[in-house]
Amino acid sequence: MENEELIKQVTEKAKEWLTPAYDAQTQKEVKRMLNSEDKTELIDSFYRVLEFGTGGLRGIMGAGTNRMNIYTVGAATQGFANYLNKNFKNLDQISVVVGHDCRNNSRLFAEKSADIFSANGIKVYLFDDMRPTPEMSFAIRHLGCQAGINITASHNPREYNGYKAYWDDGAQVLAPHDKGIIDEVAKVKTEDIKFKGNPDLIQIVGKDIDDIYLEKVHSICIDPEVIKRQKDLCIVYTPLHGTGMRGIPQSLKLWGFENVHCVAEQMVKSGDFPTVVSPNPENAEALTLAIKLGKSLDADIVMASDPDADRVGMACKNDKGEWVLINGNQTCLLFLYYIITNRKKLGKMKGNEFIVKTIVTTEVIRQIAEKNHIEMRDCYTGFKWIAREIRLSEGVKQYIGGGEESYGFLAQDFVRDKDAVSACSLLAEICAWAKDQGKTLYEVLMGIYLEYGFSKEFTVNVVKPGKSGADEIQQMMANFRENPPKEIAGSKVVCAKDYKTLKATDGEGNVCDLDMPEPSNVLQYYTADGTKVSVRPSGTEPKIKFYIEVKGTMNTVADYLAADAAASKKIEAVRASLGI
């Protein structure tokens, strides 16, 4: 009966898309779904309206309220324009930046958005072609705009697209503006969308912004002398068909690296991502061609950026000369270790610096910060929260780096989102610094574990697509709240944090408040043996994520393999305990 009611509801919604307000191709697609005996696609396409999550608007492309198309993008832009006009009504001219990635329909969605903003009296700076997300973030601040959007689905599979909304500080939208925009979008009917643009209010930008942005990225170089000595460092880079090709090779050259090799097959702009299963540098498969080239050249480092060039993945040689992947937690660890160590060594610390990590990122970073007397802050998943910390301390304390386990890092404050352009450049500098001492990146990582403690992290993604999947994820979170684990893999839970209620409970049942800016649907468990488990539904994909971190012992580099194997065994025990 419940399913019949749902089908009735989505059918009524779908029929609204058969009016002249929608183009012929869209109507044809909706009719096909309505006429199909299997109503799964119809339900998934219309059971809800796409909403802003941790990464904005994101979904599969196609017809429907729960799909990315010119009407859902149009409604989002019209609602955003309405909110901007209300919020900045005292300004003579409101302005926004519009950018996009390499995906199918990205240019179309960007141009439609530019038209809608301009039709609402808002000046638009529209990039002439795809650009990295961080450059779009930079442009908002540089041009003095009130907001910006980027059409991108980041590292998602090829059938996805997305819409990231940014505020005047160059960061993704936070409260109260996120809710304010959503409320305005909810009021928009298709006939309200002003699709006919005002060309006089649309200004095309490109190389003029590129040059200034890349110069700013170059300014974060910590030790230019080490680069001069190691300018022949052999670097392999791939943009995975995306926007990185418009910034990262140029940045590496500007920093002084003269031996950079790009993966030719993946320097081809394509929203079909023909050479990979998924354009995600977190996946080993995506780096296959780059590692192959790295082996043939005996390269020092292999690096990859995702389609919108905000995430960076990497591989390097281990002590046996075998190519190994460096995960997101290790990446963040390496960056922050290098920044702190070498800023101190070169006398660049003033005593007011701070770093940021997300609550699901490795706790070894905390050990580095404490031992070096650097303030470290924890924040929610999503770079908008790191950007918030930068904003709160602007002009008072100096942000010098922050990152998350999902391969995102930001080494500067003139961008307010993760930045693979600067991260790849800084990564090359770290490799040059290591080589200057006769070390590899792998040996630097081993040294960090020896000095600050070994941990191994593993993320389990439980994918639950569609309406039924969303319900299952909700139920899983409810089950954890109603029946929290007392022990995990044989170790007692000594602290449980519920960020939805903003309460922490210790092993004796004592409760205290969590100091966070707002509630979030995240659970965390800490055990007596140092294990940390975090559980949260993804804000941008149909899955629930389990972040597992376990501790181990390393007295010498030779202990690494044994410590790693023991940690892997412990992670399996944790998974068994949690039933995942």
Active site residues: 154
Taking the CB of residue 32, how many other CB atoms lie within 10 A of it? 12
Cα separation, 137 vs 165, in Å, equals 10
- Please report the DSSP string for 93-114 in residue order: --EEEEEE-SSTTHHHHHHHHH
Per-residue b/e over 509-539, b at no fewer than 16 CB within 10 Å? eeeeeeebeeebbbbbbbbeeebbbbbbbbb
- Residues in Cβ contact with 202 at an 8 Å cutoff, skipping those fewer than 6 apart: 114, 115, 118, 123, 124, 126
Which tokens in the block code for residue 458?
A: 């593993």
- Which residue from 468, 501, 510, 491 is spatially nearest to 549, judged by alpha carbons? 491
Taking the CB of residue 99, how many other CB atoms lie within 10 A of it? 30
Q: Is 385 helix (H, G, I), strand (E, B) or coil?
A: helix
Which tokens in the block code for residue 392?
A: 């709160």
Cα separation, 323 vs 268, in Å, equals 25
Evaluate whether 471 touches 345 at the Cβ level (below 8 Å): no
Evaluate whether 227 touches 429 at the Cβ level (below 8 Å): yes
**Strand 202-205, strand 123-127: pairing:** parallel
Q: What region, left, alpha or beta, does residue 154 occupy, with left being phi > 0 and alpha being psi -120 to 50 degrees?
A: left
Please say whether the dihedral angle defined by the alpha carbons of residues 26, 79, 137 and 360, taken in this order, is positive or negative.
Answer: negative
Cα separation, 513 vs 67, in Å, equals 39
Q: To which residue do tokens 């990315």 refer?
A: 68
